[in-house]
Structure 1
Amino acid sequence: MPTSICILLLAMASTAMARPIDLIVIHATGGPGCRDDRLWHAPGGTLESNVRHFANHPDISYHYLIGRDGETVAGVAESEVAHHVRGHNRNSIGIELVNDGNGKDPFPPAQINALMGLLDRLLLRYRLTPDRIRGHSELDRSAFECGGKRYKRKIDPGGEYPGSTGNFPWKRIRESLR
C-alpha cells in the first residue's frame, strides 16, 4: 500500500477515535466530608501531594492540575477520558486547582492567570464558548449526611459552604474569556 494512503488511513482513524469535547469542568482538590459525625473540610494540599494522590487512586483523574503558583501539570491526555465528574467524563476536560475548595481559601493570582490561559487555549481548540465552563458543584448534585444534617457533597471550585459565601472568581474569568 502506498505511503500516502497509509497516512490518510491513519489520519482518518485518529479523527474517528477523537472524542467530542463540549464541556470544561473546574475542580478544587479539597472538599467537605464527615468525621465523627462532624462536618470537616479536607485541605487542598500541594501540587506534589495531589499528583501522588491521583497516582495512588487510579479511579479518579484529571486532564490538568494547577498549583497555587500557576505551575500546570498534565494528567490524562485530552484525547482520553479522565474520571473527574460523574455523568460528564466522556465529553469533558477536567481541571483541578490546588485549593481547599471551602469558599475561603484564596485562589492566588498566578493560579487564576494560569487557569485563564489554559481555558483560553481549550476554548479555541474545541470551539467552545465560555458558557461551556462549569464548576464541579454545578454538575454533581449529590449530598451526604453528617450530624443529622444534609450537605452538598461537591461545592468546588470555591462555592458556598457553612461560614462562607464562596470565593471563586467566576465573573473575572468569564469576562476575560469573552
Structure 2
Amino acid sequence: MLLLMRVVLLSALCAAALGCPTIITRSQWGARPPRSRVPLKTPVPYVIIHHTVGNRCFNLASCSREVKGIQNYHMDSNRWPDIGYNFLIGEDGRVYEGRGWSTVGAHAKNWNHKSLGFSFLGNFSNRPPNAAALNAAQSLIQCAVKRGFLRRSYTLKGHRNVNPTSCPGNALYGVISRWPRFKA
C-alpha cells in the first residue's frame, strides 16, 4: 500500500506539471485487461458527461472498488470488451482511467467514435457531485485539450443530449449546462 501511495503521489506531481488532475491508472486501480481495443482518432470534437448511478466514493480504496465493479458489469453482463467510459471521476477529486485517451469507448451509442466519455462515480439525480469531483472534471477537460486528445473548439454535452436517457442526472446536468462550451 505504501508503494501504491508513492506511485499515486508521483503521478499527481507529473499531472500537476501538465495542468492535469491526478489520474489513477488502470494498473493502480486493478483493472482487468481489455479483450480488444479500437483506436480513437484524436483530437475528438465532443466530451460527453455521464454518471454511473452507483455508490458515491470519497477515497482511493472505495473509488477503485466502484470502478472495478463497473468494469466487471460492463465486461461480464454487457459483454463489452472493457469498461465503457474513457475516464471516471470520484468525489475524492481523482480521475480513474477507463479506456483512456486513445481507445473508442462504449458510453454513448453513435457518438463513441467522436467523443470522450467522462462519468462521475455516483448518482447525481438529486444532488450534484462535490467541488473536488467537479474541479477534477473541468481540469480533465482542459488536460485533454492541452494534450491534443480533444479539439480546442470542443463541444460539451450531457449523455441525455445524444441518447434518450436521464443521464447524467438532473442535478449534475444543471451544473454542466453552465460550463463553457456546453451545447444541448
Q: Compute the TM-score of the two structures, normalised by the length of structure 2.
A: 0.61
Q: For residues 166 and 110 of structure 1, what CA distance do their matches in structure 2 show?
A: 14
8 A Cα contact 1:157 1:168, kept in partner: no
Work out whether 1:55 is the aligned partner of 2:71: yes
Work out whether 1:174 is the aligned partner of 2:146: no
Q: Compute the TM-score of the two structures, normalised by the length of structure 1.
A: 0.63
* Divergent runs of 4+, >4 A: none
Q: CA deviation at 1:83?
A: 0.5
More strand by share: 1
Q: Indicate which of 104, 107, 119 corresponds to 1:96.
A: 119
Q: For residues 166 and 55 of structure 1, what CA distance do their matches in structure 2 show?
A: 22
**Aligned match of 2:135:** 113
Q: For residues 158 and 67 of structure 1, what CA distance do their matches in structure 2 show?
A: 16
Residues 135-150 of structure 1 aligned to structure 2 (within 5 Å): 135-141=158-164
Alpha-carbon spacing, 1:25–1:63, altered in 2? closer, same or farther (3 Å): same
How many pairs align? 129
- Higher Rg: 1
Q: Indicate which of 67, 76, 91 corresponds to 2:99.
A: 76
For residues 12-62 of structure 1, the C-alpha deviation after alignment (integer angstroms, 9 at most, x for no partner) is xxxxx66141111110111xxxxxxxxxxxx44432343122321222511
Q: For residues 62 and 89 of structure 1, what CA distance do their matches in structure 2 show?
A: 9
Work out whether 1:28 is the aligned partner of 2:51: yes
For residues 66-108 of structure 1, the C-alpha deviation after alignment (integer angstroms, 9 at most, x for no partner) is 1012111111132111101111111111101013131x12310
SS at match of 1:62: coil
RMSD (Å) for aligned C-alpha atoms: 2.5
More helix by share: 2
**Aligned match of 1:38:** none
Taking only the aligned residue pairs, the percentage that are identical comes to 24
Q: Indicate which of 136, 156, 176 corresponds to 2:167.
A: 156
